[in-house]
């Protein structure tokens, strides 16, 4: 066995392990795009709880905001106070003979629409957190689709590298035979062996890239191992409505909800300018005469210094910032839709041309050159040139399909309402 064959032995062992891996019950599972979306929690699975940390956090924030709405609806608690006067003095007030006991029950009365403003602010914040949770799910779905497309492209490139290696192995074998019978100079065999070594190195590189892409995909649901993906690209079709018009985006709705929440916060802060009186009523007992008397009182804070002006100004600034983000979000959305739409249409046109015209012609040219090479009518360099042209088209087709899938994934996310 030659030195090149000895170096190739580990490669073919890895290829054999990869080809037999799916049949092994203990090997990684083969996942489709739908499986990946389900594993990540993007696709609903009935009543099954969501365990993906990427989704648990935002949904917990939504639950917290909903709980704060219930809290905002509650009224202030009543207050109870108990006072003892004229105790342990001197003269007539010595001991407990002149003691007075006062029991008061007070209730703070909210004025200026504080409760309604508080509820409105909490409900606006809950709506905002719900939209942000939906946006997180949409963004995770886009990331799953993009990484799945990248993993499929890496698997397709691995298949391409494996085909190139097998072809170069066959060419090297034929070249050695032709050199032995004197139909080719020894340089031809050396060149074929060099091309084979390069193809095997590329095969190892493609296998490493495929593993890296599959590991990145599994990280989206904290998978323990990198799953296997087929080398066929899934059919991702962007929404038809987005290909002809620009609807309102989820990101714009989030920005608008931020503006609504900021406006509600201004109303809440303004309501806090008005002081709330506390009305109290109770009973007083005079120990010396054993008499009882009712007591009624009102206490009101005096807003001489603090009228909540700083919080009102801060809430107004946040509203201006949220309004600006709303305008930016819509402009960025329209630009993203236009760019993704152009990338999808361009990649789709390239896929159509390469798959329907360029690749079949290159395959036929390579087939004819290989037949002529076996019959001694063409030189090895012509076979290598035709094969390289065909492989370049295959690589370009994989890249075009990858770009089309990535653009479709972005358009699907942009169309989320």
Whole-number Cα distances in Å, 300 to 22, 109, 280: 77, 10, 11
Q: Which residues of 302-313 are buried (b: 16+ CB within 10 A; e: fewer)?
A: eeeeeebeebbe
Neighbouring residues of 416: CB distance < 8 A, sequence distance ≥ 6: 134, 135, 138, 249, 250
Neighbouring residues of 117: CB distance < 8 A, sequence distance ≥ 6: 264, 267, 268, 270, 271
326-342 per-position pLDDT tens digit: 889 888 888 888 899 99
| Other C-beta atoms lying within 10 Å of the C-beta of residue 412 | 19
- Sequence length of the chain is 417
Q: What is the DSSP-derived secondary structure letter of residue 223?
A: -
> What residues are paired with 368 via a beta bridge?
none
Distance CA 277, CA 51 (A): 48
Q: Domains of the chain: which residue ranges?
A: 36-42+51-75+110-273+308-414, 77-109+274-307
Angle at 288 between CA 284 and CA 292, to 5 degrees: 25
Would you state the pLDDT for residue 26?
Answer: 54
Expressed in angstroms, the distance from the first to the final Cα of the chain is: 63
Domain range 36-42+51-75+110-273+308-414, CATH architecture: Up-down Bundle (1.20)
Would you state the pLDDT for residue 247?
Answer: 65
Residue where the block lists tokens 């599972």: 29
Q: What is the DSSP-derived secondary structure letter of residue 228?
A: B
> What residues are paired with 85 via a beta bridge?
100
For residue 347, which of 409, 413, 416 has the smallest C-alpha distance? 409
How far is C-alpha 95 from the geometric centre of its chain's CA atoms?
74
Would you state the pLDDT for residue 77?
Answer: 94
**pTM to 2 decimals?**
0.80
Would you state the pLDDT for residue 239?
Answer: 81
Contact 174, 188 (CB under 8 A): no
Please, what are the averages of pLDDT over each run of 10 residues along the chain (417 residues)? 37 38 56 90 76 90 95 93 81 72 92 93 94 91 94 94 89 80 76 88 94 92 86 87 69 90 93 92 83 90 89 93 90 88 93 92 88 77 83 93 93 83
Domain range 77-109+274-307, CATH architecture: Single Sheet (2.20)
Would you state the pLDDT for residue 348?
Answer: 93
């Amino acid at each position: 066995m030659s030195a090149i064959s000895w170096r190739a032995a580990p490669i073919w062992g890895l290829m054999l392990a990869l080809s037999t891996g799916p049949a092994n019950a203990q090997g990684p599972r083969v996942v489709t795009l739908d499986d990946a979306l389900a594993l990540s929690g993007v696709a609903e699975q009935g009543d099954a709880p969501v365990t993906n940390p990427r989704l648990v956090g935002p949904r917990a924030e939504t639950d917290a905001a909903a709980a704060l709405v219930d809290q905002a609806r509650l009224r202030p608690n009543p207050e109870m106070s108990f006072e003892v006067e004229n105790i342990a003095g001197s003269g007539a007030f010595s001991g407990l003979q002149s003691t007075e006991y006062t029991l008061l029950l007070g209730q703070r009365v909210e004025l200026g629409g504080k409760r309604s403003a508080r509820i409105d602010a909490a409900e606006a914040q809950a709506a905002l957190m719900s939209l942000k949770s939906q946006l997180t799910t949409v963004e995770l779905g886009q990331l799953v689709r993009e990484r799945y497309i990248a993993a499929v492209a890496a698997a397709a490139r691995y298949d391409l590298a494996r085909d190139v290696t097998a072809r170069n192995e066959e060419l090297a074998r034929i070249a050695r035979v032709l050199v032995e019978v004197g139909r080719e100079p020894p340089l031809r065999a050396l060149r074929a062996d060099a091309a084979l070594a390069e193809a095997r190195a590329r095969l190892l590189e493609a296998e490493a890239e495929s593993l890296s892409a599959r590991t990145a995909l599994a990280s989206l649901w904290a998978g323990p191992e990198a799953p296997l993906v087929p080398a066929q690209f899934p059919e991702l079709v962007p929404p038809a409505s987005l290909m002809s018009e620009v609807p309102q985006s989820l990101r714009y709705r989030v920005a608008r909800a931020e503006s609504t929440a900021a406006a509600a916060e201004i109303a809440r802060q303004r309501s806090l300018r008005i002081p709330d009186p506390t009305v109290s009523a109770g009973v007083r007992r005079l120990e010396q005469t054993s008499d009882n008397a009712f007591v009624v009182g009102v206490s009101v804070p005096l807003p001489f210094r603090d009228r909540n002006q700083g919080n009102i100004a801060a809430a107004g600034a946040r509203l201006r910032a949220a309004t600006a983000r709303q305008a930016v979000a819509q402009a960025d959305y329209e630009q993203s839709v236009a760019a993704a739409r152009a990338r999808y249409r361009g990649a789709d046109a390239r896929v159509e041309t390469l798959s329907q015209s360029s690749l079949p012609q290159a395959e036929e040219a390579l087939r004819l050159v290989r037949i002529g090479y076996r019959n001694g009518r063409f030189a090895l360099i012509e076979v290598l040139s035709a094969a390289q042209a065909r492989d370049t088209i295959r690589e370009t087709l994989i890249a075009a399909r990858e770009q089309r899938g990535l653009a479709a994934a972005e358009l699907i996310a942009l169309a989320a309402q």
